[in-house]
C-alpha cells in the first residue's frame, strides 16, 4: 500500500461496504481521527491514512508549512500536490483490496486533511462522492485550472468560530465557491477553536448516515 493506515472493518457482514477514508491534520497521525471510528455506522469500512512526511515524535504532515519573516506562513504547494496524488492512488488501492462500493466513498479530512480533501475532489472528479471538511478551507492554488463540470460530489463543512489556526473567514468562502460550481454543500459553525465539538460530530455522523 502506498500509505500506512489503520482500518476498522464493517461490524456487519457486507459484500461491498461503503468506504470512509480519514485524513488527519498537520503534525498528527492516523490514530487521531480513528477515535471517531467506533461511533460511526456499522456497515462502513473505515480507513485512517498516515501522511507521508515524518515530523518526528509521532507526528506527520501531508505537506510542509513554512514560516518566514517576509511571507509569514505559507504552504509547500508542490508537496501538497504530491500528497493529493498519493491519496488518490491510496483510495484506489483500498477500494480494490476491500472490494468497497464504488458509488459510496466518503473522504473526511481535518484541517490540512480537509484542504486536501477539497482539492482531491476537484483534481480527481467523482473519485469520492462525499467530502466531510472539518476545520479546513479551499486552497484555490491547489485546484486545477479547468474545473470539470460533471462533478457530483457533495460536501459537509464545519468550522470553529474561534479557530486560531485557520480563521473562520477562510472556511466561509467554501460554500460560496462550491455554489458557483453548483455543488451541494451543508455548512455549519460551532463555538470552538481548532477542533471538533461533540455536537459537530453528531451532525456529520447524521450527514453520513443519510448518504448510506
The DSSP annotation for the chain comes to: --S-EEEE--SS--SS--EEEEE--TTB-HHHHHTTGGGS-TT-EEEEEPPSEEEETTEEESS-EEEETTTEEEE-HHHHHHHHHHHHHHHHHHHHHHT--TT-EEEEEETHHHHHHHHHHHHSTTS-SEEEEES----GGGS-SS--TT---EEEEEEETT-SSS-HHHHHHHHHHHHHTT--EEEEEES-SSS--HHHHHHHHHHHHHT-
For the chain, the distance separating the N- and C-terminal CA atoms, rounded to the nearest angstrom, is: 26
* pLDDT value, residue 170: 96
Task: Flag whether pLDDT at 98 surpasses 70.
Answer: yes
Spatial distance between the Cα atoms of 158 and 176, rounded to a whole number of angstroms = 14
Spatial distance between the Cα atoms of 205 and 55, rounded to a whole number of angstroms = 31
Task: Tell me the per-residue pLDDT of 19-49, one tens digit each, with 9 for 90 and over.
Answer: 999 999 999 999 999 998 999 999 999 999 9
* pLDDT value, residue 71: 64
With CA atoms as reference, report the closest residue to 62 among 50, 47, 44, 48.
Answer: 50
Task: Tell me the per-residue pLDDT of 102-159, one tens digit each, with 9 for 90 and over.
Answer: 999 999 999 999 999 999 999 999 999 999 999 999 999 999 998 888 999 999 999 9
With CA atoms as reference, report the closest residue to 126 among 98, 100, 154, 146.
Answer: 154
Neighbouring residues of 167: CB distance < 8 A, sequence distance ≥ 6: none
Q: What is the CATH number of the domain that holds 9?
A: 3.40.50.1820
Please compute the mean of the pLDDT values over residues 179-206 and round it to a whole number.
96
Task: Tell me the per-residue pLDDT of 42-94, one tens digit each, with 9 for 90 and over.
Answer: 999 999 999 999 999 999 999 998 777 666 677 899 999 999 999 999 999 99
> How many separate domains does the chain show?
1
With CA atoms as reference, report the closest residue to 123 among 81, 164, 166.
Answer: 81
* pLDDT value, residue 67: 73
* pLDDT value, residue 17: 98
Q: What is the 3 state secondary structure string of 11-30?
A: CCCCCCCCEEEEECCCCECH
Spatial distance between the Cα atoms of 113 and 73, rounded to a whole number of angstroms = 18
Residue 25 domain boundaries: 5-210
* pLDDT value, residue 147: 87
CB of 158 within 8 A of CB of 203?
A: yes
Task: Flag whether pLDDT at 212 surpasses 70.
Answer: yes
Amino acid at each position: 500500500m502506498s500509505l500506512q493506515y489503520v482500518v476498522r472493518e464493517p461490524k456487519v457482514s457486507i459484500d461491498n461496504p461503503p468506504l470512509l477514508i480519514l485524513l488527519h491534520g498537520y503534525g498528527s497521525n492516523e490514530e487521531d481521527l480513528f477515535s471517531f471510528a467506533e461511533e460511526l455506522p456499522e456497515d462502513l469500512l473505515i480507513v485512517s491514512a498516515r501522511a507521508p512526511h515524518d515530523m518526528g515524535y509521532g507526528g506527520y504532515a501531508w505537506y510542509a508549512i513554512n514560516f518566514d519573516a517576509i511571507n509569514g506562513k505559507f504552504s509547500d504547494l508542490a508537496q501538497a500536490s504530491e500528497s493529493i496524488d498519493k491519496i488518490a492512488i491510496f483510495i484506489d488501492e483500498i477500494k480494490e483490496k476491500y472490494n468497497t462500493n464504488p458509488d459510496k466513498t466518503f473522504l473526511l479530512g481535518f484541517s490540512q486533511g480537509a484542504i486536501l480533501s477539497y482539492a482531491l475532489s476537484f483534481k480527481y472528479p467523482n473519485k469520492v462522492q462525499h467530502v466531510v471538511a472539518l476545520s479546513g478551507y479551499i486552497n484555490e492554488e491547489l485546484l486545477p485550472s479547468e474545473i470539470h463540470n460533471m462533478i457530483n460530489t457533495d460536501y459537509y463543512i464545519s468550522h470553529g468560530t474561534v479557530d486560531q489556526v485557520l480563521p473562520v473567514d477562510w472556511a466561509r468562502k467554501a460554500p460560496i465557491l462550491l455554489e458557483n460550481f453548483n455543488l451541494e454543500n451543508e455548512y455549519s459553525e460551532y463555538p470552538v477553536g481548532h477542533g471538533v465539538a461533540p455536537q459537530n460530530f453528531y451532525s456529520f455522523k447524521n450527514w453520513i448516515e443519510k448518504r448510506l
